[in-house]
């Protein structure tokens, strides 16, 4: 917010200066901070390690895209509080949802809004229920570890989002006792709070993610997570056989190189703007988007991965391919994820999941 001074009002910046000023404010507001498990858009009190020059260069073009998309979204929604899925909305989602409309679209597209409307008192009833002491203890252990550089999650903040984070996680733990709580869920819940700024909506979005979009990802056996990593391997075998052969030659399992991609939903993997765009499609189109992102990263960097001569080389290559201009330019990157992997049907994905699930159960029995 601009601070006004009655004694001496500053002159209005020229258009170019205002655009540059917006870029710097945007850079400060979405500074990316690395901790043990997540990258997060955040308001930070100490932007010492942030490359403003690089961010300004990237964002100067992306801001123009965001402005155009915001205008089109405003015309599409026309102040509506509810939306329905259709071809036009899907096209808009793939091109990016403006921040101010993300909660509305995520809630509607994922079915979370329908669940909230059908169960208006449910979240509050979970908060009022008797809390399992072991669940509470486990959640509390991770509260201070969740986005520690984000001012909103610090105990000294008012309000402090740690309380909202605890509420969302404990409510979900009681709602789905087969999952309860495990590490990683705190960053997903924290990200949802950052976007929605509403703990009840964050709870229902989390329920949509873990209960319907990504079932069995966070259960004790993590069968869904293991299954999808193996499915990715099967897709790579068909679409990028040389990469698959490199993995086989160096005896590298897919779990070793992509588990964080899937369990963190690309938090701490891709730049923050790309993460938000991926999540736009994840809530609208489902888990298929996770494979499209992974296949695009692998396809685009096929030559680099094939150069690997050892297991550490492969691991280093998979770390390297999630950084650099290709992913930093998130608008171009998101266009490519719907082109570079080619087509693969939902029925194909269903068959591969059934095959991989059966194989994992047999191996672990």
One domain, residues 325 and 209: no
One domain, residues 138 and 177: yes
One domain, residues 234 and 208: no
Last residue of a domain, one of 154, 189, 213: 213
Cβ-defined contacts of 359-364 (< 8 Å, 24+): 359/230, 360/223, 360/226, 360/227, 360/230, 361/223, 364/221
One domain, residues 244 and 199: no
Q: Which of 314, 336, 318, 37 is nearest to 191 (CA)?
A: 37
The answer to whether residue 306 is domain-embedded is yes
With 0-12 CB in 10 A as exposed, 13-18 as middle and 19+ as buried, what is 154?
middle
pTM equals 0.83
Tens digit of each residue's pLDDT, the chain (365 residues): 433 333 333 334 444 444 444 433 343 334 333 333 333 344 444 445 456 666 677 667 777 777 888 889 989 998 888 888 999 999 999 999 999 999 999 999 999 999 999 999 999 999 999 889 999 999 999 998 888 888 888 888 888 899 999 999 999 999 999 999 988 899 999 999 999 999 999 999 999 999 999 999 999 999 999 999 999 999 999 999 999 999 999 999 999 999 999 999 999 899 989 999 999 999 999 999 999 999 999 999 999 999 999 999 999 999 999 999 999 989 899 999 999 999 989 999 999 999 999 999 999 98
Last residue of a domain, one of 179, 213, 247: 213
Instruction: Specify the pLDDT at position 35.
Output: 32
Q: Which of 91, 41, 49, 106 is nearest to 270 (CA)?
A: 41
Intra-chain end-to-end CA distance of the chain, in Å: 60
**Inter-residue contact 188 to 267 (CB < 8 Å):** yes
Name the phi and psi angles at 175, rounded to 5. Answer: -65, -40
Instruction: Specify the pLDDT at position 199.
Output: 97
One domain, residues 209 and 227: no
One domain, residues 244 and 354: yes
- 95: CB partners within 8 A, 6+ apart: 69, 334
With 0-12 CB in 10 A as exposed, 13-18 as middle and 19+ as buried, what is 240?
buried
One domain, residues 324 and 203: no
One domain, residues 339 and 254: yes
Cross-strand pairs, 32 = 41
The answer to whether residue 165 is domain-embedded is yes
Tokens linked to 346: 């939902």
CA distance linking residue 252 with residue 247, whole number of Å: 5
The answer to whether residue 13 is domain-embedded is no
Instruction: Specify the pLDDT at position 158.
Output: 80
One domain, residues 157 and 239: no
One domain, residues 346 and 241: yes
The answer to whether residue 131 is domain-embedded is yes
The answer to whether residue 72 is domain-embedded is no
Last residue of a domain, one of 159, 186, 213: 213
One domain, residues 169 and 250: no
**Inter-residue contact 291 to 278 (CB < 8 Å):** no
Instruction: Specify the pLDDT at position 29.
Output: 39
- 277: CB partners within 8 A, 6+ apart: 96, 330, 331, 333, 334
The answer to whether residue 46 is domain-embedded is no
CATH code, domain carrying 283: 1.10.472.80
Host domain of residue 133: 116-213
One domain, residues 205 and 248: no
The answer to whether residue 180 is domain-embedded is yes
Domain tally, the chain: 2
CATH code, domain carrying 183: 1.10.8.270
The answer to whether residue 15 is domain-embedded is no
Distances (CA, A) of 142 to 181, 245, 260, 281, 326: 10, 39, 18, 28, 33
């Amino acid at each position: 917010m601009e601070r006004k001074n009655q004694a001496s009002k500053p002159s209005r910046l020229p258009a170019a200066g205002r655009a540059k000023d917006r870029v710097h404010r945007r850079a400060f507001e979405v500074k990316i901070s690395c901790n043990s498990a997540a990258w997060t858009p955040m308001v930070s009190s100490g932007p010492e390690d942030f490359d403003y020059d690089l961010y300004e260069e990237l964002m100067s073009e992306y801001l123009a895209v965001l402005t155009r998309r915001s205008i089109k979204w405003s015309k599409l929604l026309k102040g509506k509080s509810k939306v329905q899925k259709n071809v036009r909305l899907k096209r808009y989602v793939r091109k990016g949802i403006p921040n101010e409309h993300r909660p509305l679209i995520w809630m509607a597209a994922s079915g979370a809004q329908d669940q909230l409307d059908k169960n208006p008192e449910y979240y509050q009833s979970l908060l009022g229920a008797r809390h399992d002491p072991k669940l509470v203890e486990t959640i509390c252990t991770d509260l201070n570890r969740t986005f520690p550089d984000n001012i909103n999650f610090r105990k000294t903040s008012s309000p402090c989002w740690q309380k909202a984070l605890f509420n969302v996680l404990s409510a979900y733990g009681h709602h789905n006792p087969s999952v309860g709580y495990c590490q990683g869920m705190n960053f997903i819940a924290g990200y949802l709070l950052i976007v929605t700024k509403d703990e009840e909506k964050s709870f229902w979005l989390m329920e949509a993610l873990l209960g319907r979009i990504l079932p069995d990802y966070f259960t004790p056996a993590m069968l869904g997570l293991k299954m999808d990593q193996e499915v990715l391997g099967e897709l790579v075998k068909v679409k990028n056989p040389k990469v698959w052969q490199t993995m086989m030659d160096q005896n590298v399992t897919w779990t070793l190189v992509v588990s964080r991609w899937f369990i963190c939903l690309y938090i701490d993997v891709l730049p923050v703007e790309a993460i938000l765009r991926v999540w736009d499609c994840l809530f609208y189109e489902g888990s298929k988007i996770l494979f499209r992102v992974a296949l695009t990263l692998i396809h685009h960097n096929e030559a680099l991965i094939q150069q690997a001569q050892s297991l550490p080389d492969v691991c280093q290559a998979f770390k390297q391919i999630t950084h650099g201009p290709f992913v930093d330019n998130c608008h171009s990157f998101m266009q490519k994820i719907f082109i570079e992997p080619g087509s693969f049907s939902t029925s194909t994905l269903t068959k591969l999941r059934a095959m991989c699930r059966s194989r994992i159960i047999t191996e672990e029995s």
